[in-house]
Every structure is written in structure tokens, then in C-alpha cells.
Amino acid sequence: MADEHPTVADQQQIWGGRFAEPTDAFVARLNASVDFDRRLYREDIAGSRAHAAMLGAQGILSAEDAAAIDAGLTKVQAEIEAGTFVWQTALEDVHMNIEQRLTAHVGEAGKRLHTGRSRNDQVATDLRLWLLRCVDETLPVLDRLTDALLTLAERDGAAILPGYTHLQRAQPILLAHHLLAYVEMFERDRGRLVDCRRRAAECPLGAAALAGTPFPLDRQMTAAALGFARPMANSLDAVADRDFAVEFTAAASLAMVHLSRLSEELVIWSSQEFGFVELGDAFATGSSIMPQKKNPDIPELVRGKTGRVFGDLVALLTVLKGLPLAYNKDLQEDKEALFDAADTLRDCLEATARLLPSLTVRVERMRAACDAGFVTATDVADHLARRGVPFREAHHVVGRLVAWCIAERRTLPSLTVDEFRSFHADFGDDITEAVTVEASVAARTSEGGTAPARVNAALATARARQATRGA
């Protein structure tokens, strides 16, 4: 990266003849965005190619100039990807750096490329193109995570563990049922990203600075060439809004919420207090002083990185909230937040997808946690309710029964029929069968419930859905 001071010639290349002296060197560095927007080079070159081809087709540029521009842009892209391109801070951004180098290659034709467009519609086009590619690259990573959850559910999903409310043991469930809850969350996250992509797939190119252009552009042609669904309908809106970036970052924030919740459970479950799972050595770290430690650093990092994506979302909302139409320099602040949210989300999805297959599930510890609690208490109340006892009365009876068991250090499965009937005469002979963990799980046959048949059907449905995506 060249860090030269801008000269009057530099300024005139960007701004024309309006300014007689260069920008202050410190202000020039503050004003420049090339350090981070250079990652848009592919989109910028693709947009310029489409624009030049359209200008040629419309007779605005000669066929010779259009061909020269296309060939020159090919050279520029090759230089960037070979690492020989010299990025210049004095030229401010990715757009002017590429245009300057193009002009060095093809001469006057390069100076004609900007006909009928502005950096305002150019950057909006680049950013939307980048976002479309970003979503397309993120969805397969999200699918790999879902696939890892399904594989774990297929491998160890028959294990029974307590389901929790308030982090207190509540009712027994299948591990597969628990994992499928996250599959559903990530499926909604996927849908939000797809929806975001659909709304982002409109082309700003041709809006120019804010009001359109008098040149006879074919905006349908450039939109189609770049893979957009259509041109944007309003030139002011095309250059002024970044709601597509906000929408992506909001979707990323929700996906990070779900990743963070899963990570939190992995941290808790891998503790000695729970001992439900053990992370593979490749996804844990030790302590610099305590040799016995095996720390769940990857889930902790994912949980921690969630906050930075939230911050990116708030940053974008704050940038936009007070802007008058149309373009304002504040919008330069859109890119770093968007890039960071996208990079962080993809890295965290990838890390979690890699971690899940390494888990060792401690089936016996999960089951012991069920046996140590009163996770079938609701089944006892349901037993009475099915025999005609009002549920609120049954709830009260079982509450007294549990209190007695705690005082006597007994468990529900250890009680005899007569002991149950000492609390209520309507307990049936089959009550001792109803209070087992397996019976409780099997009884939850309502749609979406944890009964094995329901869970197996849900697992098959989710797996078939994954298969259609080539996961």
C-alpha cells in the first residue's frame, strides 16, 4: 500500500478542477477507504465491465473503447490477484485506484468508463454484489453446521437427558429432540439470509449521483449482466439506503444468538458438574498453570464474538438513522461493520460445524441426571388427570408427593402403588410404569413432541431437506 501525500494532481484526478490545493495529509488518510474497501475489487471490476459493455451496446462508447476497457480491466484484476497492484491511499478508494490503473493501461478509453455513472451508484452496486456473494458463500457453511447437528442426533440421539426450564431439571427428552431444536433455529436463520439476498438483488447502477443520467442507459442490461433481478426503481433510494446491509447484519445477529446459546450449553454440558459431553482435544485448550484443565475455548469464543456482531448491527443502524437523502459520506462507515459481521458469522458457523463431530456424549451421565431429579412429576399429575382428577388438584397432590420424597430421600420410580395412593386414592395400578423416564419420553406423542416416533420422523424430514441442498 502506497502511503504518499495527495497532490493537486491526485485531487484533480478524483474531483476535477474545483480544488486548487490538496487535502490535508491527515484528513486524506481519514477520508480514504481503500484499506478496507479494496476487498470489493472483484465486484467493482464486474460492475465496470457490465457498465462498459452496456455503454458500447448503446453507442455511448465506441466498440473499440468498450473492448479496450474490458481487456484493461482483465489486466487490472490479474495484477490485483497476483499481488503486484499498488494500492494508493491518495486515490481514496477501490474505485479510483482501479480506474487510475485502467487508464494507465488503455489511455483515453479508461477516462470514458465513468460516463453515465457516479461513485455513489458504483459503490452501492459493488456492496450489493458483495453481499449476494457473501450470502451464497455463507449458506453452505450454515448447511454444514445443520448437517453436523443431524449427524450427532443420528449417532447419539437416543440418549435421554433432562430438558430444562430456568436451568432446573424439568422433563426427560431425547438428545435428538434437543439437537433438532437448534436445527429448526438455524433453518429460520437460513430463511432470513435467503430473504435478505432476494431483497438485495436489485441493481443501483444507472442511478448515478442521485437523480439518474441523461445518457440513454440500458439499466435492464447491466442488472441482468451482474445477476441482479431488476434495476432499483428510484435513483435516490438506490444510492442513499443501506437497509440490505442492516438486514444481513440483523440476520447474522440472530444466527449468532443461536450459536451462542448452543455454545453456552456446550460450555455447561462439558463442565465436571454436568459431564454430559466431552469436547475433542482439537477443540479445547489447557491452562498455563493448572495441568488438569480442559477448557471449552471454541464455544466460549463463539459466545463472546456474538457481541461484536450485535455491535456491527447497532453501528449500521446508527449511521443510517439521521441521514438526509441522498448520499452522505457517513455511508463510508457501512463496509467495515458489514464485512466484520459477515466474517465473524462465517467463522463461528465453521468452527461449530467442525467441533460437533468431536463430541463424546456421556449417555450415562445424562440418564443419571434424569434419575436424580423428579423429571417425571408431570407424568404423575397427567396420570391423575386422565383418571378424572382436575389437573390443578393433581398438580397440588404431586407437589406434596415430591416434597415428601425430598424429605425421605426417595425417588418417584422407587415408590410403591400403596405409597402413591397414600397421597391420593385415584392412583391406578399402572402408576409405577408411568413414572419411568422411558415411559415419560414415549408418552409425548403430540406433534413436535419428544416421543421417539415423532423425533425419528422429524429427523428424517430434516435430513431429506438437507439432501436437497447437497449438504
* 372-389 pLDDT tens trace: 889 999 999 999 999 999
- What is the reported pLDDT for 11? 55
Spans in the chain with pLDDT lower than 50: 1-3, 471
**pLDDT in the model for residue 13:** 59
State how far the Cα of 108 lies from the Cα of 72, in Å rounded to an integer: 12
C-alpha closest to that of 93 among 61, 65, 133, 127: 127
What is the structure's pLDDT at 16? Answer: 61
Domain boundaries, the chain: 8-115, 120-156+169-367, 369-467
What single-letter amino acid sits at 228? F
Neighbours of 312 (CB within 10 A): 26
Give residue 24's pLDDT: 79
Pairing of strands 202-203, 230-231: parallel
pLDDT of residue 330: 94
Q: What integer pLDDT is reported at residue 22 of this predicted model?
A: 76
453 contact partners, CB below 8 Å, separation of at least 6: 445
Q: Which of 333, 59, 345, 52 is nearest to 190 (CA)?
A: 345
Q: What is the pLDDT of residues 385-415, one digit of tens each?
A: 999 999 999 999 999 999 999 999 999 999 9
What does the angle CA 333 – CA 334 – CA 340 come to, to the nearest 5 degrees?
A: 105
Q: Which CATH architecture has domain 120-156+169-367?
A: Up-down Bundle (1.20)
Q: What does the pLDDT read at residue 5?
A: 53
H or E element in which residue 188 lies? helix 175-200
Q: Which residue has the cell 446459546?
A: 261
Q: What is the pTM of this model?
A: 0.91
- Give the CATH number of domain 369-467; options: 3.40.50.970, 3.40.50.880, 1.10.10.60, 1.10.40.30: 1.10.40.30
Q: Does the active-site annotation cover 166? A: yes
DSSP state of 276: S
**Residue from 166, 178, 396, 440 carrying the catalytic annotation:** 166
C-beta separation of 450 from 437 below 8 A: no
- Give the separation between CA 4 and CA 2, rounded to whole angstroms: 6
- The residue annotated as part of the active site, out of 62, 271, 287, 422, is 287
Element (H, E) at 438: helix 437-443
Residue 112 C-alpha cell reads as: 470514458
Q: Looking at residue 364, what is its pLDDT?
A: 97
Q: Over the Cα atoms of the chain, what is R_g?
A: 31
Q: Class for domain 8-115, per CATH?
A: mainly alpha
Q: How far apart are the first and last CA of the chain?
A: 40
- The answer to whether residue 178 is catalytic is no
